[in-house]
Structure 1
């Protein structure tokens, strides 16, 4: 499950983590956009629910210095030895440049360089290296983790996917349908032993299809107009079907952009229906090769109008049957 859950204060998440554990969820994965940072929700989970596996999906490679990123990862790996995975990625110009005042230059090479730095630093090595995108002088972790965390790489298109397959311990996928998974995984090439495939999957467990599609269109126009995601979906073959959305968005017609997204695209990328139907759709990702399906739980009319108890009930319904290798 993606954490923290919206609408519940972080201080009240002890009950959320306990519910997830009882419902059969094995992993909690954070994200880092404009809410909580990637590490704090996981640090709380490490203390409150020692059986859950923890992961970041993702920590951007631009918004922390390499040394600080290594320190944060090492601290969480020490707090939860053997059950933390570090997911990193380039993120986007909006998050990096517009919100964090950092230049978004050469995202592929920056991601590659941070991956290589972290690999050495988390092993406890002294890193004294001139990389293509930054230089580190004699950095050594004071407390390298006894169990270095696996490093997963967020990847969309072939170049980053091949980098993940060659140098990372796993890949994190996002904003793709179950039918897109085989084509994406085919680009990974040779993989390291124990390589892991995770995917964030947006789930809106309501039988109010009109509500789910309206919400899905809003999310799709927010994300798939970002250049990297737009190019990803062109590569996946959605150039023609999404062209009207991109054209309306470029013209400043936000309402028209949302209206231009076909139902079949919304239904493929934002799963909705009863909890049982949502589980069946998530299973399609697992059958296609996703070992860690990470649900991103979207608000529903039933839960939004209810209480934390209604949300806990929904979590239990979603977790009734295990799906994938880790969740």
Structure 2
């Protein structure tokens, strides 16, 4: 599950982490856009719920310096040895440049360089030298983790997917349908032992189809108009289906862009229906090649914002019992 959950304050998440573990969820994965940072929700989970595996999906490679990113990862790996995975990614010009005042250039090379730096630094090595996109002078972690975390890479198109296959311990997919998974996985080639394929999956567990599709359209027009995601969906074969949305968006017609997103695209990218139906749809991702499906829970009319009891009940219906988890 993606955390934090809903509008519930982080200080009140102890019960939510327990509800997730009780429902059969194995992992919690944080994101980093403009809400909570990636590490604080996981640090709380490490303290409150030792049954859960922890991961970032993802931390941008531009918004922290290499040394600070290594320190943050090492601290969490120290708190939860063997239970933490560090997922990194290029992010986007909006997050990196507009919101964090950092130049967004050469994202593939920057990601490759940060990955190489982290691999060495988290093993406790002294890193001293120039990479293609930055230089580091004699950095050594004061507290290298006893168990270095696996490094996962967010990837969309072939270049980044192949980088993940060659140099990372896993790949994180995002904003794709279950039917898109085989194409992405094919770019990875033959995978090494222990290499993991994660996918964030947007889930709106409601039978109010109008609500789910309206929310899905807003999210799709926000994300899939970003150049990297637009190129990704062209590569996946959605040029014709999304051309109207892209034209309207480029013309400044936001309402027209929303109206131009076909129902079938919304239904493929944002799962909805009863919690049990959503679970069945998530299984299609695992059948297609995803090892770790990471749900991103969207608001529904049935669950009031910030209501921990209602959210815990929904989580229980989305989860699996112990027999199924085994």
What range describes the TM-score normalised by the shorter chain of this pair?
Answer: over 0.9
Q: 1:15-54, aligned counterparts within 5 Å?
A: 15-54=15-54
Cα shift at 1:189? 1.9
Q: What whole-Å deviation, never above 9, does each CA across 1:268-294 have from its counterpart, x for those lacking one?
A: 000000000000000000101111000
Cα shift at 1:321? 4.9
For the residue of structure 2 that corresponds to 1:171, the secondary structure is strand
Q: Does 2:263 align with 1:263?
A: yes
- Output the CA distance in 2 between the equivalents of 1:323 and 1:91: 38
- Output the CA distance in 1 between the equivalents of 2:17 and 2:272: 23
For the residue of structure 2 that corresponds to 1:301, the secondary structure is coil
TM-score w.r.t. the length of structure 2 is 0.98
- Output the CA distance in 2 between the equivalents of 1:114 and 1:6: 31
Cα shift at 1:309? 1.0
- Output the CA distance in 2 between the equivalents of 1:65 and 1:190: 32
For the residue of structure 2 that corresponds to 1:182, the secondary structure is helix
Instruction: Report the counterpart of residue 144 of structure 1 in structure 2.
Output: 144
Cα shift at 1:6? 1.7
Instruction: Report the counterpart of residue 204 of structure 1 in structure 2.
Output: 204
Instruction: Report the counterpart of residue 300 of structure 2 in structure 1.
Output: 300
Instruction: Report the counterpart of residue 226 of structure 2 in structure 1.
Output: 226
- Output the CA distance in 2 between the equivalents of 1:69 and 1:21: 28
For the residue of structure 2 that corresponds to 1:20, the secondary structure is helix
- The alignment of Structure 1 onto Structure 2 pairs a total of residues equal to 326
- Output the CA distance in 1 between the equivalents of 2:146 and 2:228: 36
Cα shift at 1:323? 11
- Output the CA distance in 2 between the equivalents of 1:171 and 1:228: 17
For the residue of structure 1 that corresponds to 2:203, the secondary structure is strand
Q: What whole-Å deviation, never above 9, does each CA across 1:128-158 have from its counterpart, x for those lacking one?
A: 1210000011100000000000000000000
Cα shift at 1:232? 0.2
- Output the CA distance in 2 between the equivalents of 1:97 and 1:83: 32
- Output the CA distance in 2 between the equivalents of 1:76 and 1:9: 21
Instruction: Report the counterpart of residue 62 of structure 2 in structure 1.
Output: 62
Q: What whole-Å deviation, never above 9, does each CA across 1:10-47 have from its counterpart, x for those lacking one?
A: 00000000000100001000000000000000000000
Instruction: Report the counterpart of residue 174 of structure 2 in structure 1.
Output: 174
Is this contact kept in 1: 2:6–2:306, CA < 8 A? no
CA RMSD between the two structures:
1.5
Q: What whole-Å deviation, never above 9, does each CA across 1:281-316 have from its counterpart, x for those lacking one?
A: 000001011110000000000003783211110000
Instruction: Report the counterpart of residue 252 of structure 2 in structure 1.
Output: 252
For the residue of structure 2 that corresponds to 1:173, the secondary structure is strand
The runs of 5 or more residues in structure 1 that have no matched partner are: none
- Output the CA distance in 1 between the equivalents of 2:247 and 2:322: 41
- Output the CA distance in 1 between the equivalents of 2:67 and 2:308: 39
Q: 1:96-175, aligned counterparts within 5 Å?
A: 96-175=96-175
Cα shift at 1:114? 0.1
- Output the CA distance in 2 between the equivalents of 1:153 and 1:305: 32
Report which stretch shifted further, 228-237 or 307-316: 307-316
For the residue of structure 2 that corresponds to 1:296, the secondary structure is strand
